Amino acid sequence: MTIYPVSQLVAMLNALIAADAPFDGAVCHLFQNDLAVSSGTVLSDLVEATFDNYAPSAPLVWTAAYLDTGDTARVWAGTTEFSMDDVTTPNTVYGWYLTTGVSPSEVLIAVRRLDEPVTMTGPLDAVVVFPTLELQTPR
């Protein structure tokens, strides 16, 4: 296993979100299938949400990376809210994922399962996600 100096973790994250880098222009989506996500998850494993008013996010704008007190480099894109505006197409949302590119050339770059699924059944229902990227090195 390669060990990266803590001093380089912030630089590595900033390189991932820089202009024309893999996470530049990433878009956030929700998935509605009850999937145990792993490092082997691929885009075709995910069933995108279809509830009323759902659309993937606009391209995310990342903050500059920083090192927290636990020596984890972090960067985030603020909160992204997905809200339902009717009762026609309910969904249960199990998580979110990030892609780059445009369909059919989208590339899955991150996926995260929610701690608890969120049932979307009416116009007051919403899912708020906080896309984050983190890098750690073993101690």
Ordered by start, the domain boundaries in the chain are 6-135
DSSP-derived secondary structure for 81-128: EEE---SSS-EEEEEEEEEES-TTS-EEEEEEEEEEEEEE-STT-EEE
pLDDT at 6 over 90: no
- Can you read off the two tokens belonging to residue 113? 């399962």
Q: How confident is the model at residue 18 (pLDDT cuts 50, 70, 90)?
A: very high
- Can you read off the two tokens belonging to residue 35? 């999937």
Task: Give exposure, 10-28, as e/b (b: 16+ Cβ within 10 Å).
Answer: beebbebbeeeeebebbbb
61 conformational bin, left if phi > 0, alpha if psi -120 to 50, beta if neither: beta
Length of the chain (residues): 139
Mean pLDDT of 11-25: 92
pLDDT digits 0-9 by tens, 44-62: 999 999 999 999 999 999 9
Please give the pLDDT value at position 7: 83
- Can you read off the two tokens belonging to residue 106? 């989208």
User: Which of the pair, 130 or 70, is modelled with greater confidence?
Assistant: 130
Computed over every residue of the chain, the mean pLDDT equals: 92
CA-closest candidate to residue 82, choices 116, 119, 57:
57
User: Which of the pair, 3 or 110, is modelled with greater confidence?
Assistant: 110
pLDDT at 78 over 80: yes
pLDDT digits 0-9 by tens, 84-121: 999 899 999 999 999 997 677 789 999 999 999 999 99
User: Which of the pair, 28 or 101, is modelled with greater confidence?
Assistant: 28
Please give the pLDDT value at position 13: 93
Question: Residue 116: CB partners within 8 Å, gap ≥ 6?
Answer: none
Q: Are 43 and 108 in contact (CB under 8 A)?
A: yes
